[in-house]
Amino acid sequence: MWEKVKDITRGHSLWMLYYCTGCGAIELPPTMTSRFDMERFGIGPMATPRQADILLVTGYLSTKTLRRVIYTYEQMQSPKWLVGFGSCTLNGGIYHDSYATINQLDQYLPVDLYLAGCMPRPEVIIKGFKQLMEMIKTGEADGWKQYQDNREWYRENQKKALGDLLYTTR
Amino acid sequence: MLQKDFIAKIKQEFGLDPAHIKAVAEKKLAVTVDSGEALSFLIYLKNIDFIQLSLITAVDWIDENRFELVYTLVSWEKNLTVSVSTFIPRDNPVIVSVRHIWPTAKYYEWDINEFFGIIFSGHPEMGNPLFLEGWSEKPPMRKDFDPQAYSYERFPSRKYDYKVENKGRVIE
Amino acid sequence: MKEVKLFHGPNHPGMHGNFSVHLTVDGDTVVSARPNPGMLHRGFEKLMERRSWIQNIALIPRICVPEPDINEAVYSMGVEALAGMEIPERAKYIRVIVLEIARIMIHLMSIGGIGGPTGLYTAPNWGIADRDLFLDIFEKLTGHRVYHMYIVPGGVRQDIPADLLKEIEEKLDDLEKRLVEYRELIFDHPILHKRLKGMAPLPKELALDWGITGIGIRSNGFDYDVRKYDPYLVYDKLSFDVPVCDESDAYSRLLLKFREIPQSMRIIRQAIADMPAGKVRIKLPGNALKWKVPKGAVYSRLESSRGEYGYYMVSNGGLTPYRVHVRGASYPQSLYGVEAGLPGTRLEDVAVWLDTMGVCAPEFDR
pLDDT bin (cut points 50, 70, 90) of residue B137 is confident
Choose, out of C213, C323, C339, C366, the residue to mutate when testing the contact with B (most B CBs < 10 Å): C323
Whether B39 contacts B9, CB under 8 Å: no
Q: How many residues does chain C have?
A: 366
Q: What is the pLDDT of residue C84?
A: 87
Chain C neighbours, 3+ Cβ pairs < 8 A: A, B
Distance, CA of A121 to CA of B113 (rounded, Å): 40
Q: What percentage of chain A reaches a pLDDT higher than 90?
A: 3
Q: Would the pLDDT of A166 be above 70?
A: no
Do B158 and A91 lie within an 8 Å CB cutoff? yes
**CA distances (Å), C203 to each of A51, A63, B141, C31, C207, in order?**
42, 38, 37, 19, 6
Amino acid at A5: V
CA distance C124 to chain A (A): 8
Closest CA to C117 of C346, C315, C300: C346
**CA distances (Å), C72 to each of C63, C100, C148, C306, in order?**
10, 14, 9, 17
For chain B, domain boundaries? 3-154
Kindly report the pTM of this predicted structure: 0.92
Residues B8-41 have pLDDT tens digits of 777 777 776 766 777 777 788 888 888 888 888 8
Q: Kindly list the residues from chain A whose CB atom is less than 8 angstroms away from the CB atom of residue C62.
A: 23, 94
Residues A50-60 have pLDDT tens digits of 888 888 888 88
- CATH fold of A2-162: Rossmann fold (3.40.50)
- CA–chain centroid gap for C185, Å, is 24
Q: What is the pLDDT of residue A167?
A: 58
C312 reaches B (C-beta below 8 A): yes
Mean residue pLDDT across chain B? 85
The string of DSSP letters for C144-192 reads -SS----EETTEESSPPPHHHHHHHHHHHHHHHHHHHHHIIIIIT-HHH
For chain A, domain boundaries? 2-162
Do C327 and B59 lie within an 8 Å CB cutoff? no
pLDDT bin (cut points 50, 70, 90) of residue B56 is very high
Q: What is the pLDDT of residue B18?
A: 66
Structural domains of chain C, ranges and CATH numbers in brackets = 4-365 (1.10.645.10)
CA distance A21 to chain C (A): 6
Do A92 and B155 lie within an 8 Å CB cutoff? yes
Which candidate from C50, C109, C146 shows the least CB-CB separation from A119? C146
CA distance A110 to chain C (A): 21
CA distance C12 to chain A (A): 7
Phi, psi (rounded to 5 degrees) for C222: -90, 140
Task: Please tell me what DSSP assigns to residue C342.
Answer: S
Q: Would the pLDDT of B46 be above 70?
A: yes
Which candidate from A91, A162, A168 shows the least CB-CB separation from B157? A91
Which candidate from B147, B156, B158 shows the least CB-CB separation from A98? B147
- Chain C, nearest residue to B26 by Cα: C230
Do A94 and C59 lie within an 8 Å CB cutoff? yes
What's the whole-number mean pLDDT along residues B161-171?
A: 81
C4: CB partners within 8 A, 6+ apart: C24, C25, C26
CA distance A1 to chain C (A): 38
Q: Give kind and range of the element (H or E) at residue C102.
A: helix C89-112
Q: What is the pLDDT of residue B37?
A: 83
C38 reaches B (C-beta below 8 A): yes
Q: Give kind and range of the element (H or E) at residue C110.
A: helix C89-112
Q: Kindly list the residues from chain A whose CB atom is less than 8 angstroms away from the CB atom of residue C43.
A: 95, 98-101
Whether C110 contacts C258, CB under 8 Å: no
Task: Please tell me what DSSP assigns to residue C39.
Answer: T
Q: Would the pLDDT of A170 be above 60?
A: no
Amino acid at C275: M
Distance, CA of A98 to CA of C44 (rounded, Å): 8
Which candidate from C38, C211, C310 shows the least CB-CB separation from B130? C38
A9: CB partners within 8 A, 6+ apart: none
Residues A71-104 have pLDDT tens digits of 888 888 878 899 998 888 888 888 988 898 888 8
A29 reaches C (C-beta below 8 A): yes
| CATH architecture type of domain B3-154 | 2-Layer Sandwich (3.30)
Which of A:102-131 have CB within 8 Å of B? 102-104, 106-107
Distance, CA of B143 to CA of C318 (rounded, Å): 15
Residues C301-316 have pLDDT tens digits of 899 988 899 999 999 9
Which candidate from B132, B147, B158 shows the least CB-CB separation from A97? B147
| Better-predicted residue by pLDDT, C259 or B166 | C259
Q: Would the pLDDT of B141 be above 80?
A: yes
What's the whole-number mean pLDDT along residues A19-43?
A: 85
Low-confidence ranges of chain C (pLDDT < 50): none
Q: Would the pLDDT of A168 be above 60?
A: no
The string of DSSP letters for chain B reads --HHHHHHHHHHHH---GGGEEEEETTEEEEE--SSSHHHHHHHHHHTT--EEEEEEEEEETTTTEEEEEEEEEETTTTEEEEEEEEEESSS-EEE--TTTSTTHHHHHHHHHHHH--EEET-TTTT--SS-SS--SS-TTSTT--HHHHHHHHS---------SS------
Q: Which of A8-12, A41-45, C105-109 has the highest mean pLDDT?
A: C105-109
Q: How many residues does chain A have?
A: 170
Q: What is the pLDDT of residue B171?
A: 64
Do B25 and C81 lie within an 8 Å CB cutoff? yes
Do C209 and B103 lie within an 8 Å CB cutoff? yes
Do C290 and B171 lie within an 8 Å CB cutoff? yes
Q: What is the pLDDT of residue A43?
A: 86
Residue C24: beta bridge partners?
C5, C32
Q: What is the pLDDT of residue B19?
A: 66
C41 reaches B (C-beta below 8 A): yes
**CA distances (Å), C286 to each of A18, C75, C140, C281, C292, in order?**
49, 21, 31, 15, 10
Closest CA to C147 of A136, A32, A87, B9: A87
Q: How many CB atoms lie within 10 A of CB C187?
A: 15
